[in-house]
Structure 1
Amino acid sequence: MSVSVPYTQVVGEGSCADDGVELVSFREEFYRCLSARSDAVFELTDALLCSGDPVTLVDLSLTPEHRRGHGALYDGLNCGRVDIGRLRRAVGALPLPRSSDGRIVLAIDISPWLRPDAPTSSQRAFCHVYGRGKNQAQLIPGWPYSFVAALEVGRTSWTAVLDAVRLRPDDDETTVTTAQVREVVGRLQSAGHWRDGDPDIVLVYDAGYELARMAFLLADLPVQVLGRMRSDRVLHFPAPPPGRTGRPPRHGAEFKFADPQTWPEPDSNTDTDTDRYGTAVTAAWNRLHPRITHRGSWADHPGPPPIVEGTVIRLTVDHLPGDRHPKPVWLWCSHPGAGTADIDRLWQMFLRRFDIEHTFRLFKQTLGWTAPKIRNPEAADRWTWIVLVAHTQLRLARPLAEDLRRPWERPAPPRRLTPARVRRGFPRIRATMPNPASAPKPSRPGPGRPPGSRNRRPAQHHHVGKRTKIDITEPKSETQPG
């Protein structure tokens, strides 16, 4: 079987005029979401979109789209106010890409904003960062952000980023991510993207998430959890019938990923010919569950641990880019009875998860998400949403952009421009759009700090990581003095 995935999105095909109206409507709604320093924040977003070079924050004040000085830029970033709830609803109401069968596929992942040299910045946590060599991972202080993005079909670098939440040091990653996904799915239902009778939304996670916990907490939503597991995991088949004596067993035979002797005959197999990976072979086993104990994210679970069954998929391919002998990939899906057609669809959806890595690279290298040296985490949240809104406008301007390619670049067909090339032509698109921001009023800069004066209010230094209070009060001695 040969995979032929279309490059076009499964969304309504409209004219360029309709796309332009949609972009104008979103820009006006974004302006209404700004309740303080609205003109400065809106023009900062336009400067981010129209700047041709990789972004440094102060250089944005020199662009023609930012008609105010650098003081107004920092004032809008530090003291502006954005109605994040209304902005989330506006982003969620936009058209979404879907898979070839009409499903919504959401990728959830964490990307850190590293701030190792910022002791005056509060609420920093230790972020896991991979090194170039084996066993070279590090923990670096920073602000981790959890993103939710809708994935397209085919090979593309586009995603529809729907939400971003900063993880605080004392937050439980599973709890915060589950609440974030629940709110995103609720907004999609309110916007009419999912109705009763539609196929379930697929949530794609990478390794590191507690997939069984996610599936248990989201069991009341129309979603399927799909994610990668480590190759040393051990799962269990359903428990055998109880005997005449003794307590009924809760778990069946072990299924060790690293021990083929524990693998019975798979419930389904697929063999797919691909252009990029060669032959992709999958083997799937239904109704497998992990052994859950009262620790980690399950520590506060009331009652006995539940049995969360799913389907395990073992994916092997002939080759990967730069790797002639790739290792198998183990996937787990919360659908316990997935069939052959489901298996073939699920592993292809998981491979599309890596498109969000292109979005993270665009955020950091082109849009300069982590470039500003911002002190307050609230200002970091504000700047994160400015970058997210800029990326959303690029997505809406995708059918309107011209291919302003460099002499050494290959021509790209319509609607197949990369986000960076759409941004290259955004100044022309913006020139045809109404600007809701008012013109700046004439003013003069303030006197600033008098020459020779010293800062007598130094910024407070903050610790990194969790700050759990422990009661170390010693008990009073029962011996009374004589």
Structure 2
Amino acid sequence: MVHQATQIAGNKPIAIGHSYSMLAVIPERNEGDAPWTIPLEMSRVSTDSNSTQKGIAQLNVVLNNPNLPWSKELCVAVVDSAYGNKQFLSPLQQQKNLVILARSRSNRVFYQSPVISETPAHRGHPTWYGARFDLKEPDTWHEPTEVSHLSYKTRRGRTIKATINAWSNMLMRGGKALPTQLFPFTLLRIESVDEFDQSLFRPMWLIVIGERRGQLSALQAHQSYRQRFDLEHSFRFQKQNLLLTTFETPDVEHEQQWVKFVMLAYIQLWAAHSIAVALPRPWEKHLIPLPFTRISPSKVQQDWFRIISQLGSPAVSPKTRGYSSGRKLGQIQSRRPRLPVIKKRKSPASVPKFAA
């Protein structure tokens, strides 16, 4: 059983199933291009693991592979707020070419870098943190290091103006096992308004952490995180058009093979997007052709029969090999063993011990 948000009042936010973690490349796109992602690795989060540990393992495998073209280039990983914690950020600081762009909850507390004294103290613990920076208390904020402004239009022509405040050399509370306090980061606050200066969304907080974070400007960080939502479009397409979650089987191995099969099908669509032709449906002929330089996955899938007919397939045509005799009379099938239900939950808080 895994956590799943639900809108049904009084219902527990749980669901029966397996969690999967996908690492994908988000190709750069121009204005008007359809959103795409290129899956690199998608596997099940095992029972004795969690999504944070799985994400770390996936990133390390990809970044440590010298045969990949980005092994020595600057890589930016965009993740949501579930990964903006020290359990995920601290172990990945060994990757010198990786910059992590993570969303932060608006109720967290960070710290400024401590002021280094010219005369070091001879007693006491060294100062690790500076002034407190509470995201929900503006009185604790100091002046931002950089302020940027940008304006852009959505696909529907809506004008959005964004103000980005950046605070550099911020610190996150860490510990002995996960010394996050040793890795400063840049904190961004993005506030979006419409053309009438009316607030559109709640302010968004982003964490930019990594040794090469200085090579990423505030505007580039904002644009990179906006493009992260291309991943959500891919998930929706894979579920609706490629039947990612429709296949049901009691065998975990068959389930994992099906997920890989869907990922390969999606990659084939990406490989053929440059030769695909956007064919409008009968009720879409009145629409004005959009100036897309990269058409959507659904349009490539619509033209897939023509593509595969022209390219051909190396597979051999199926042939009849006889008919199975089926089950014999009186044959008894063994029952499937009943396995215990595994519930993933947070470990209970430790009870403080008091001396008698």
1:254 aligned to 2:132? yes
Contact 2:83/2:89 (<8 A) preserved:
no
Write out per-residue CA displacement over residues 183-238 of structure 1, whole angstroms, 9 at most, x where no aligned residue: 12234x4133444xx4x100000011144443432223211010100000000111
Aligned partners of 2:21 and 2:51 also within 8 Å: no
Is it true that 1:207 corresponds to 2:85 in the alignment?
A: no
When structure 1 is superposed on structure 2, of 427-436 and 453-462 the one drifting more is 453-462
The reply on whether 1:163 has 2:41 as its aligned counterpart is yes
- Pick from 304, 320, 343: which aligns with 1:465? 343
TM-score (norm 2): 0.83
The question of 1:446 aligning with 2:324 is answered yes
- Post-superposition offset of 1:149: 1.3
Are the structure 2 counterparts of residues 336 and 397 from structure 1 closer, same or farther at C-alpha, using a change threshold of 3 Å?
closer
Change (3 A) 1:290 1:207: same
CA offset at residue 445 of structure 1?
A: 3.1
Amino acid at match of 2:68: A
Q: After TM superposition, give the deviation of residue 281 of structure 1 in Å.
A: 0.5
What residue is the counterpart of 2:64 in the other structure? 186
Shift in CA distance, 364/341, structure 1 to aligned 2, threshold 3 Å = closer
For the pair 1:288 / 2:170, whether they are aligned, the reply is: yes
What does residue 142 of structure 2 align with? 264
1:363 and 1:387 in contact (8 A); partners too: yes
| Relative contact order, higher structure (CA 8 A, sep 6+) | 1
Equivalences for 1:17-36 in 2 at 5 Å?
none
Structure 1 residues 71-100: Cα deviation after superposition (integer angstroms, max 9, x where no partner): xxxxxxxxxxxxxxxxxxxxxxxxxxxxxx
**C-alpha spacing 1:233/1:185, structure 2 compared with 1 (3 Å):** same
Query: What is the correspondence of 1:29-428 to structure 2 with a 5 Å cutoff?
Result: 125-126=1-2, 128-132=3-7, 138-151=13-26, 152-154=28-30, 156-187=34-65, 189-195=66-72, 198=73, 200-221=74-95, 222-241=97-116, 244=121, 245-276=123-154, 278-293=160-175, 301=177, 306-319=181-194, 325-335=200-210, 342-409=217-284, 410=287, 411-413=289-291, 415-428=293-306
**Contact in 1 for aligned 2:248/2:255 (Cα 8 Å):** no
Unaligned runs of 5+ in 1: 1-124, 295-300, 468-482
Structure 1 residues 431 and 336: CA distance shift in structure 2, 3 A: closer
Secondary structure at the aligned position of 1:286 is classed as: strand
Verify the 8 A CA contact 2:84 2:102 in the aligned structure 1: no
CA separation in 2, counterparts of 1:336 and 1:258?
Answer: 28
Q: In structure 1, what is the Cα distance between the partners aligned to 2:160 and 2:306?
A: 42
Aligned-partner Cα distance in 1 for 2:325–2:339: 28
Count of residue pairs brought into register by the alignment: 330
- Aligned 8 A contact 2:171 2:180 in 1: no
In structure 2, the CA distance between the partners of 1:444 and 1:377, relative to structure 1 (3 Å rule), is same
Query: Does structure 1 conserve the Cα–Cα contact (< 8 Å) formed by 2:84 and 2:103?
Result: no
Q: Deviations over 1:257-314 (max 9, x none)?
A: 00000111100000101113511101010111111246xxxxxx28x66522100000
Alpha-carbon distance in structure 2 between the residues aligned to 1:220 and 1:337: 12
What's the secondary structure of 1:142's corresponding residue? coil
Contact 2:99/2:213 (CA < 8 Å) preserved in 1?
A: no
Q: Given the superposition, is the C-alpha separation of residues 138 and 425 from structure 1 closer, same or farther in structure 2, using an over 3 Å criterion? A: same
Tell me, in whole angstroms, the C-alpha distance in 2 between the residues paired with 1:248 and 1:414: 57
* Aligned partner letter, 2:261: I
Q: Helix, strand or coil for the counterpart of 2:342?
A: coil
The aligned amino acid for 2:53 is T
Task: Please list every run of 5 or more consecutive structure 2 residues that lacks an aligned counterpart in the other structure.
Answer: 346-356
Partner secondary structure for residue 218 of structure 1: helix
Distance 1:396 1:139 in 2: 37
Q: Identity, % of aligned pairs? A: 27
CA contact (8 A) 2:192 2:199 kept: no
Deviation at 1:436, TM superposition (A): 1.9
For residues 340-388 of structure 1, what are the alpha-carbon distances to aligned partners after superposition, in whole Å with 9 as ceiling and x for unaligned?
9711110110010000000000111110011111111111111111111
CA RMSD of superposed structures (Å): 2.9
Provide the residue aligned with 1:472 in structure 2. Answer: none
Match of 1:92 in 2: none
SS state at 1:464 partner: coil
